[in-house]
Amino acid sequence: MDSADAAAIRLRDFTPRPMVRLPEHEVEKAAAPAVDVHNHLGKWHGGEWSAPEVPVLLSIMDSCNVASIVNLDGGWADELEENLDRYDRPYPGRFATFCRLDWTLPSHSGWPEKLVASLQDSARRGAAGVKLWKDLGLHIRDEDGKLVMVNDERLSDMWSAFGELGLPVLIHTADPAAFFEPLDGNNERLEELVRHPDWYFGDEKFPRMQELLEALEDVIAAHPDVTVIGAHVGCYAEDLGWVGRMLSTYSNFNVDIAARVAELGRQPRATRALIDAHPDRVLFGTDVFPPTATAYRRYFRFLETADEYFPYSGSNPPGSGRWMISGLDLGPEALRQVYGDNARRLVPALNTG
């Protein structure tokens, strides 16, 4: 291949091999019993395991020192029962299933009261918490076609019910910051958005990212008795200053690191400083479904080693962007809290068994 041929290589075909030689450390097991606080074991995202397959999942967990998984796919009513029967009831303490809410209800009158009734029913059945997804704020509309935000005053009783029922809430609002930026040559997630055009929220029909984050802060501030876990580093892994301010301001706010190793690993010193400042508020999670030992061990390497410039993904090019990450080399006490102690404190159902 000559220089002219090389110049014709398309970006999609450019998969460079780093020439830098650095120490590599593989971490087979988490340094402390871990809780994957963000995973999907139901039908919502295709991670469902049949009852006979669950022991296979448990063997993967045991091989990696993952003590428990929070299943965010509980649904409601019969679907919630099916998830509880498959995971929580036969394996107490190994799984904690969060319910969801039926967001087709806002298209009908009387929907705020129906949401609260659904929460009460799910709590009675044994839901360990609630998962709120980004469709609330981006897609869900009421009976008049108005977009429903997480701080909509009609959801006030729902938020109050979370506190009254003792249900922690894991909430994913917004998405990576680049998903709201112009879709042009400056967008660092351009390749990803070309592959997944439905992930793009830069269109004017969607709220701006800042609006979504402000709505999230509104409800956290208004409901201090509700335990909130902000998915994906509080939904703003690109701005750890914002995350740190939220953690310092609101004692009921916590974050998981699920699906954001790519973001955190390119700012390892800032990430380490955030965790060192708030070791009791950051939770381990992966959002990798179905869970695999390979995926878990990539997270362990990131959290436990000082390795530099290693891939955050097994694909080339990687999914989020063309960069490498470096490890955090967290201390033993921080690892113990992040891996599991924080989750077991915030999700009481994990303490059974």
The answer, yes or no, to whether residue 9 has pLDDT greater than 90, is: no
Asked if residues 192 and 199 have their Cβ atoms less than 8 Å apart, the reply is yes
Strand 253-256, strand 34-39: pairing: unpaired
The answer, yes or no, to whether residue 226 has pLDDT greater than 70, is: yes
- Specify the 3-state DSSP secondary structure of 36: strand
Tokens of 175: 């998405």
Distance CA 304, CA 57 (A): 24
pLDDT tens for 247-264 read 999 999 999 999 999 999
The answer, yes or no, to whether residue 12 has pLDDT greater than 90, is: no
Say what the pLDDT of residue 67 is.
Answer: 98
pLDDT tens for 86-105 read 999 999 999 999 999 999 99
pLDDT tens for 47-70 read 788 989 999 999 999 999 999 999
Say what the pLDDT of residue 315 is.
Answer: 85
pLDDT tens for 262-321 read 999 999 999 999 999 999 999 999 999 999 999 999 999 999 999 999 999 988 878 899
Asked if residues 287 and 258 have their Cβ atoms less than 8 Å apart, the reply is yes
Distance CA 78, CA 102 (A): 13
* Amino acid making up residue 94: R
pLDDT tens for 202-216 read 999 999 999 999 999
The answer, yes or no, to whether residue 8 has pLDDT greater than 90, is: no
Tokens of 262: 């790519």
Distance CA 347, CA 264 (A): 24
Q: Measured at the alpha carbon of residue 162, what is the angle toward residues 80 and 173, in degrees to the nearest 5?
A: 85
- Specify the 3-state DSSP secondary structure of 307: coil
pLDDT tens for 177-196 read 999 999 999 999 999 999 99
* Amino acid making up residue 17: R
pLDDT-derived band at 10, boundaries 50, 70, 90: confident
Q: Which residues contact 346 (CB under 8 A, 6 or more apart)?
A: 168, 227, 229, 254, 283
Say what the pLDDT of residue 11 is.
Answer: 79
Mean pLDDT over each residue of the chain, to the nearest integer:
95
Confidence (pTM):
0.96
The answer, yes or no, to whether residue 201 has pLDDT greater than 90, is: yes
pLDDT tens for 267-278 read 999 999 999 999
Closest CA to 158 of 233, 99, 232: 99
pLDDT-derived band at 353, boundaries 50, 70, 90: low
The answer, yes or no, to whether residue 29 has pLDDT greater than 80, is: yes
Say what the pLDDT of residue 76 is.
Answer: 98
Say what the pLDDT of residue 114 is.
Answer: 97
What is the average per-residue pLDDT within 213-242?
98
Asked if residues 219 and 225 have their Cβ atoms less than 8 Å apart, the reply is no
The answer, yes or no, to whether residue 337 has pLDDT greater than 80, is: yes
Tokens of 287: 């959002």
Say what the pLDDT of residue 14 is.
Answer: 83
Higher pLDDT, 169 or 50: 169
Tokens of 39: 């995973």
**CATH value of 24-303+330-351 in 2.30.30.90, 3.20.20.140, 1.10.10.10, 2.70.70.10:** 3.20.20.140
Say what the pLDDT of residue 45 is.
Answer: 78
Indicate the domain borders of the chain.
Answer: 24-303+330-351
pLDDT tens for 137-160 read 999 999 999 999 999 999 999 999
What is the average per-residue pLDDT within 113-129?
98
